[in-house]
Amino acid sequence: QEKPSCMIIIFGASGDLTNRKVIPGIHSLNCESRIGTNTQIIGVARTKMTNEEFRDSLEESVKNYSRLKPGKTTYCEPWDSFAKKITYLYGDYDDPKTYQNLVQHLLDLNQKFKTPLNYLFYCATPPQLYPIILRHLAQFKLNQNRDSFWSRIIIEKPFGSNLETAIELHKVVNSIFTHSQVFYIDHYLGKETVQSILTFRFANTIFEPIWNRNYIESVHVNVMESVDVGGRGNYYDKSGVIRDMLVNHLLQLLCLIAMEPPPRYTSDYLRREKIKLLQSIKPISCSNFAIGQYHGYRSEQKISKDSNTPTYADVDLEIDNWRWQGVRFRLSSGKKLAKKETEIVLTFKQPPFSMFSTSLESVCKNQLRIVIQPDERIELKMLSKIPGAGMKTQPMKLTYLYSQGEPLPDAYERLLLDVMLGDSSLFTSAEEQRLSWKLFDSITDHGIPIQYVSTLGTNSLSSLVSQVNYLLPRKTDDIRVL
């Protein structure tokens, strides 16, 4: 495979994302020699720091979060030698001088290391800064592909906070970069197990005939997190779980599970199928979702004391097309739950008849579980005979473990490499984002009547959360006001 060499310019270089994901991802790519040895990483942020201070601040993150540990994994170069590829520039994002310095710095690096003038810009700042940064890139002509050199930009979510603001963002981006230069990152698409949904569905013969309303009763995309909001209160309290998780990560998982087979594995075909699927989802009504907030949320840092931002949501969707008519799709996600697990569960219909003594009702339904994290695996739940006399049945599982001991590459690793190679198959399009917002705007923006309940309204939830500040169950009659 071609080894791309470029200048990776990270705006928001002193932030958490850079520390935990972007730099460790580049580090692992470098260890595995997937990128050119003269690739340069330039951090830009407002904090005053020297190159050395910046490098020191990253050393611990790489040790903690990189899949391949510096110096330890045999083929991984020691930290000091990787650190030489990293430099830092400080400045305000709205000051043209910052970009003037950047231009000069890029030319110097090109002279010194012969790194080609390919630019990969990474917007890892708060989203309100995106337009400011983009306009300055245009002012200094850093947005243009030149001769054989390219300029590309990665934009992190949130892509707006509703349909209207997403459209505004797309307008700014499209006025500065062309379609093929822009990479909107949804890191769930870079997870190995998420990509494997495509091969599971479309590289095997046996699943397609049963992948529809005739055999499948329901599909549940369930992303449980054990972490709380941590230090991200400022962002999260304005966003909440629906904007933070459902509109992007969970809907993207749903698209891969439910879309029609694309004719080829290319970004355009994949996007086209995802768009068709999103267009087929019926508008969400107030009676088919539940929201909740974990106990203690209002005492977290930077969270308003009377915040009603939901940290848990559970939404039922219907897909109005031939394949999925009548099948219930549920998306659930929450923070500070009993465990971290991301899974997609497909429940099949009950067999039509039981010839054994067990009653049909007690016969378990077949279930296919695609466990995306933390223990990546695919499980098929079936009934089998209990060995010995008689004809008694018991549930059993066929399990395929996706990882064979070695840690799987992190999503950011894969996605960063794809951008350097110019492959946007695993990135979302502006059209997908608009359709996703359109679907959820009805429940995020039109004022949900938040009520308080003393206990949990649904059984499935009570096993997950022990105490909540409130829960608004899916049927409004269930609400008990304290």
CB of 230 to ligand BG6, least distance (A): 8
Q: Nearer to ligand BG6 by C-beta: 98 or 342? A: 342
Q: How many CA atoms lie within 13 A of 403 on its CB side?
A: 15
Q: Which two tokens stand for residue 231?
A: 């230090």
Torsion of CA 159, 165, 170, 171, to 10 degrees: -160
Cα 369 to Cα 390: distance, rounded to the nearest angstrom? 30
Name the strands in the sheet holding 377-385, side by side, starting at the edge strand that comes first in the sequence.
Answer: 393-401, 377-385, 367-373, 341-348, 216-224, 328-334, 312-317, 289-294, 468-472
Q: Nearer to ligand BG6 by C-beta: 277 or 337? A: 337
CB of 244 to ligand BG6, least distance (A): 5
Q: Nearer to ligand BG6 by C-beta: 133 or 242? A: 242
Q: Nearer to ligand BG6 by C-beta: 214 or 403? A: 403
CB of 165 to ligand BG6, least distance (A): 17
> Which residue number is nearest to ligand BG6 in terms of Cβ?
244
Q: Which two tokens stand for residue 77?
A: 């170069």
CB of 456 to ligand BG6, least distance (A): 22
Cα 355 to Cα 465: distance, rounded to the nearest angstrom? 40
Q: Nearer to ligand BG6 by C-beta: 244 or 413? A: 244
CB of 342 to ligand BG6, least distance (A): 6
Q: Nearer to ligand BG6 by C-beta: 286 or 408? A: 408
Vertex 25 angle, CA 426 and 372, to 5°: 55
Q: Nearer to ligand BG6 by C-beta: 237 or 244? A: 244
CB of 248 to ligand BG6, least distance (A): 7
Binding site for ligand BG6 (CB under 6 A): 225, 244, 342
The answer to whether the beta carbons of residues 185 and 156 sit under 8 Å apart is yes
Q: Nearer to ligand BG6 by C-beta: 216 or 372? A: 372
Map tokens 């909001």 to a residue: 229
Q: Which two tokens stand for residue 384?
A: 């089998």
295 is catalytic: no
Residue of 27, 249, 295, 446 marked active site: 249
| Continuous H helices in 221-308 | 233-241, 251-258, 267-280
Cα 269 to Cα 263: distance, rounded to the nearest angstrom? 7
Q: Which two tokens stand for residue 452?
A: 């308080």
Distance of CA 474 to the CA centre of its chain: 25
CB of 372 to ligand BG6, least distance (A): 8
Instruction: Label the pairing between strands 86-90 and 119-123.
Output: unpaired
For 333, the enclosing helix (H) or strand (E) is: strand 328-334
Name 11's bridge partners. 44, 123
CB of 155 to ligand BG6, least distance (A): 13
The answer to whether the beta carbons of residues 465 and 456 sit under 8 Å apart is yes
Torsion of CA 466, 469, 472, 476, to 10 degrees: 110
Q: Which of 450, 376, 360, 454 is nearest to 191 (CA)?
A: 376
39 Cβ contact list (under 8 Å, min separation 6): 4, 5, 6, 7, 8, 26, 30, 85, 115
Name 370's bridge partners. 344, 378
State residue 417 phi and psi, 5-degree precision: -65, -40
CB of 242 to ligand BG6, least distance (A): 12
The residues assigned a catalytic role are 249
